[in-house]
Structure 1
Amino acid sequence: MNAADTPRFMQLLAETLAAYGKSLPEPAMVRAWQANLEPYPLRTVQAAMQAYQDENGEFAPVPAGIAKRCKLMDGRPGAEEAWAIALTSQDEMASVVWTTEIAEAFRICRPVLDSSGAISARKPFLEAYERIVAAARLARRPAEWVASVGWDKTRHVEVLDSAVRAGLLPAPAVAGLLAGKKDSTPDDAARAQLARIKQMQVEAAAAKETARLAAVEQQRLADIEFKRATNDRVRQIDPRAEMQAADPRQILRRAHVPGRHATNDSGPLPEVIRNQKNGSKGFK
């Protein structure tokens, strides 16, 4: 609201409070009403007042309560509706009227949309949109609707006229927007260039995926070669080792442990050592 809205707001406040049997408050309270509701258009404040009366017939409203309602009635679409609006902007021939928050969230998710499609891009869009809207409401910024005019003049006239009738865009701004699009319809060469750019984006995404798969295959082959080389080393160290062991590298580590005592796996003891162990008493 601005200073020009003050008389109408005071009348609205008086009528609302009168419905609860109350008169206009003291000047300090009036200033509190104006300070809380100043960021919102008068029509939004009026709608919030009416919604409060419809739901609460016993207690008179307070400034903070009406301000909270105004935040939720600021004209911003819900997340799912915003996603549906954003998807229409993919067609360069079409015109779209959206909020600055929708445009920003769509810009964030656009790389995912181009590479993986709408299903994958939906979640990042919804998360970004809800975060951006929450920040705008916290800062008490009103919804700002803007037009992104496409190249099809027959379609953008209808879209912009609908936005004017819905109160989303002012008529003078739309008139200037339409006047500025008279000669901007692309020719065949421009359309062909746009198609080539889109094809390049698709091919770049495909090449990236091919490179990723090639790296995965290269790593798989490297793992196979490592296992083969490990088995060869195990055979050289212990020809009788079981090649079907769960992990040949364990055998390799066991063979290299310094100071490890020989076990039965190493074969029978040499003859001299056996004689020393069995006949040691005879040398006393």
Structure 2
Amino acid sequence: MNVDQLAALAGAICATAETLGQTVSATAAELMAEDLADYAPADVKAALQACRRELTGKLTLAAILQRVQAADGRPEPNEAWALALAASDEFDSVVLTDEIQLALGAARAILDAGDKVGARMSFLSAYQRQVDTARREGKPVSWKLSPGFDQQRRLMAVEEAGRLGRLPAPVVHEYRAQLTHEPVTQDGAAIAGLITGHVAMPSPEVRAKLRLVKEAVEESQAAKEKARLAEIKAMQERFEAKRAAQLEALKALEAKA
């Protein structure tokens, strides 16, 4: 957002607060506007409208963010867990978000050990962290196919994702074209799947190799995500220190005025 857009958003925040019987200072409104600047203006506008209709207490940045983020298309934790469980079936195909894939990687060992309750707790905790981080960064939701060995289920998963708007029509069309051409041999299909990501029914030996490859990819993703989160945390700490200094400077200016 440019300066004029930020000013308009700050004004909208003040007006929304007034409808709730609250007064927000210009400085506070500007800071809130800066925190909301990375989100789509239409989503922020809708969130402010929802606050005016739903809130009975004070307008807060958390209340606005909660409503903005709810519109990003990411599944709620329980729905995400259901999708993750389906994806853990090697024969099934599921369209997942990046956050579900990473959280499933974190819970995979517990799930494989047969502790579904512990795996669910681990998954939900990891999923919420991933979602919170993505939302703070303003990262849009991204859906990808996690292919299983059953080709018919793959086709059904892709078409269902298209109906739900999780995959765009051109991607659905491309998948459909690929999935309607069955490879000649099972092992040949599995080898091709390592390259294309579209795996047909392989032999038990190749299935074992594919499982090892999949687990290695998940572990690599988890390691990269851990490093990325550490970097983000350091950036946030620097940002908060800078903001604190700016607030002190503003207070000093207001005291002199």
Q: TM-score, normalised by structure 2?
A: 0.53
Report if aligned partners of 2:158, 2:175 keep a CA contact under 8 Å in 1.
no
Q: Residue 166 of structure 2: which of 165, 168, 180 is its match? A: 168
Report if aligned partners of 1:36, 1:64 keep a CA contact under 8 Å in 2.
no
Aligned to 1:275: none
* Residue 197 of structure 1, CA deviation: 2.8
Deviations 1:90-115 (A, max 9, x none): 22332211110000010111122122
Which runs of no fewer than 5 residues in structure 1 stay unpaired? 21-30, 202-284
* Residue 132 of structure 1, CA deviation: 1.5
Whole-angstrom distance in 2 between the partners of 1:157 and 1:73: 27
* Residue 186 of structure 1, CA deviation: 8.6
1:193 aligns with 2:204: yes
Written as runs of structure 1 = structure 2, the 5 A alignment for 1:31-50 is 37=36, 39-41=38-40, 44-45=43-44, 47-50=46-49
Q: Residue 150 of structure 2: which of 139, 149, 152 is its match? A: 152
Report if aligned partners of 2:92, 2:150 keep a CA contact under 8 Å in 1.
yes
SS for the counterpart of 2:95 is strand
Whole-angstrom distance in 2 between the partners of 1:184 and 1:117: 36
Report if aligned partners of 1:101, 1:132 keep a CA contact under 8 Å in 2.
yes
Alpha-carbon distance change, 92 to 46 in structure 1, aligned in 2, over 3 angstroms: farther
**Aligned Cα RMSD in Å?**
4.2
Aligned to 1:55: 54
Whole-angstrom distance in 2 between the partners of 1:39 and 1:87: 33
Report if aligned partners of 2:149, 2:202 keep a CA contact under 8 Å in 1.
no
**118-127 or 82-91, larger mean C-alpha shift:** 118-127
Alpha-carbon distance change, 34 to 159 in structure 1, aligned in 2, over 3 angstroms: farther
Deviations 1:112-161 (A, max 9, x none): 21223423322211121112222222222222222223343332333222
Whole-angstrom distance in 2 between the partners of 1:83 and 1:186: 35
Residue type of the alignment partner of 1:54: R
Report if aligned partners of 2:84, 2:101 keep a CA contact under 8 Å in 1.
yes
SS for the counterpart of 2:144 is strand
Report if aligned partners of 1:163, 1:169 keep a CA contact under 8 Å in 2.
yes
Aligned to 2:100: 102
Q: Based on CA coordinates, which of the two structures has the bigger radius of gyration?
A: 1
Aligned to 2:127: 129
- In the alignment of these two chains, the number of paired residues is 184
Written as runs of structure 1 = structure 2, the 5 A alignment for 1:269-284 is none
Alpha-carbon distance change, 112 to 65 in structure 1, aligned in 2, over 3 angstroms: closer
Q: TM-score, normalised by structure 1?
A: 0.49
Written as runs of structure 1 = structure 2, the 5 A alignment for 1:232-251 is none
Which runs of no fewer than 5 residues in structure 2 stay unpaired? 20-29, 188-200, 213-257
Report if aligned partners of 2:72, 2:141 keep a CA contact under 8 Å in 1.
yes
Residue type of the alignment partner of 2:161: A
Report if aligned partners of 1:32, 1:63 keep a CA contact under 8 Å in 2.
no
Alpha-carbon distance change, 188 to 166 in structure 1, aligned in 2, over 3 angstroms: closer
Residue type of the alignment partner of 1:132: Q
Whole-angstrom distance in 1 between the partners of 2:116 and 2:159: 28
**137-146 or 179-188, larger mean C-alpha shift:** 179-188
Whole-angstrom distance in 2 between the partners of 1:138 and 1:71: 9
Residue type of the alignment partner of 2:204: Q
Residue type of the alignment partner of 2:127: Y
